[in-house]
Every structure is written in structure tokens, then in C-alpha cells.
Structure 1
């Protein structure tokens, strides 16, 4: 895929969704960090429901610590793997208070040092909370990037590196959200909705389906 075609793809995605953002509900960097930590193997809808119960009671590291592990579990027990997630969130809150003055750090190294925070989560926080042009590659982005040929790779790190190299600078900040939304609602895993895809004529996927 050439640079001109990539530019056209992202221009159309921008036209279709001018102001893309995460579907997780948040108002502060810590709320976003909490939501992302809780989102592994869970739906955004389920996480948002749990956070709607949790955040009015505790939406700072200090408040989570005051809530205690058992209290935290009560608020998030509807989410899968809530025991492990609660333990990681408590450890993260403790580190935020002790090492970062209760604030979410803005560097990859500091974020990835937090329990339960890997490269993908760090990229989400850096991009969505702090506006850095990072691209967090999840299953949707991995599929869309390889299928369209925007950025091919055998693993998420390879795809991420190619996206950062090939996505035009003007689109880089929002590319993460455009690709996720496209994979979630149009370029579906089993039956991609090629018939209603805004980039169908630019996509290089050889097995397109006429599904709207």
C-alpha cells in the first residue's frame, strides 16, 4: 500500500468520524486509567456500568485506597476477573500516591511500571488522556491494519511500529480511535461489512464480502 492511498483512507475515516474518542466513560486521567485497567476481557458497556457505581464513591488513588480491597471488589464484581483487577488497581493506586503525588504519569516507562499496565494500556493513556500521538494496537487494530494492508505485521508491536511509520502525521493522534471504531463496527472479524465500508475501494483485502 502506498502513502497516497493511506492518506486517502485516513482522510475518509476522519470525514466519517471527525472527533473520534474512546467509548469508555472518563473525566480525569486517573478515571481513564482505572477504566482501561478494568477493560481487559470485558466490554466497554460493562466497564462503564461498573465505573458509574465506583467513581461517585472513589475516583482518585487516595479514595480507592481508602475504600479498601474488599470495598473496591464490591463495586466492580460485575466485571470479569474482578479479583485480579482489584488487586492490580490497589497496587497501582499505592504507587501513584507514593511515587507520583497521586497523579497519573505522562511517560511510557512510568506507566508500564504500574501493576497491570502494559504497552497497550500505556499507549491508550498517553494518547487519549495526554494527547500524545501513540497508537495502541488491540485485536481490532491488528485485524484492520493487516486486512486493509495499511500496516502488516505478525505481532502487535510490529503493527504498531509500522503504523507509527506510515500513518500521516496529521492523522496520527486520532488513528488509534478510527481504527478501533472501524474494526468494532464495520471491519468485523468473521463477516466484515464491506458493502457499507467507507474505504472499501481503497482497502486491499482480497476476500471482501458484499455485506452492508
Structure 2
């Protein structure tokens, strides 16, 4: 039982840190700020990770891991190849809904966190490529070069994370992902 309580406490702290970081970023906080905001001790935070940088990395990894699980669970609910692509892209946008521009900016400036984001972007691009390939094979999508679509998606995802698209369009990350989904789905739809 004590292990279960510790695991629940750890999960709760990570979830609270995640909500804080996604809403406000993480660079401006020091450990003292975090203990004040979370109403916990330094010892409690240091039980999660030995430094602020490691704490941020723990939270970033947990966020992307949970987001990937939620996205894939939604994709698994449909069997239609075109719908799988649509669900995947919409689920990515939904998972990014709570992410602030401050979080993305801090992530871009924090090399270990940026590495996690880039790894997830590569995975997402490969996943889109696979879904496009499956959709083309099933005749649900028009024939296209799936690796190109995956590479293009990766480029746009990177521009969203770096804040370039928001600077150019004013769109927040989730809205930009939804527009990317519309662009891809409409461009891949078979003419009827």
C-alpha cells in the first residue's frame, strides 16, 4: 500500500506540474516557485527528480508519453483508413490544446526537452506516413508520395513548436494542427 500511495502522489505531482508548465512554460520557475505553487516541499519535488532540469524533463516525457497513448487509443477505435488519418491528426491537435506559446518557447530553448519534442515529431511524421500509405493501399486516399507527406508534416510541426507559424498566422498550436489536418485530408481526398 505505501508504494501505491507514493505512486499516486508522484502521478498527482507530475500531473500538476504538467498543467502548470503547459499553461505558463517552465523556464521562469525555480524550485522554490514550484514548491509555492504546488504547496509541497523541496524534498517532495527532489523525490521526483534530482534537479529542476531533470524535473522538467520528467514532466515533458510524461506529457508526450500520455499524449501518444491517448492519440493511439483514439486511432484504434476506427477501422477506416481515411478516418484513421483524420482521427490521428485531430487527436494530435486535441492533445496540444492546453499547450501555451510559453511552453513551446521554453521547450525550444531547453535542449533536452527539445530533443523529446523532436523525437515525438519524427514519430508523428512517420505515423502520418504509415497512415497515408495504408489509406492509399486501401483506395481511401488518392495516390501520393507518403514519405513526402510525412516530411512535410514534420516541417510544419517543427515550425509550430518554434512559434514560427503563430508569428506568421496568429494561430495557436492546436488551431495550427487542425489546419494542418484539414490541409492534408483535403489534399489526399479522392475526387468523387
TM-score computed with the length of structure 1 as normaliser: 0.29
When you count helix as a share of all residues, which structure comes out higher? 2
Identify which of structures 1 and 2 has the higher relative contact order when contacts are C-alpha pairs closer than 8 Å and 6+ apart. Answer: 2
TM-score computed with the length of structure 2 as normaliser: 0.31
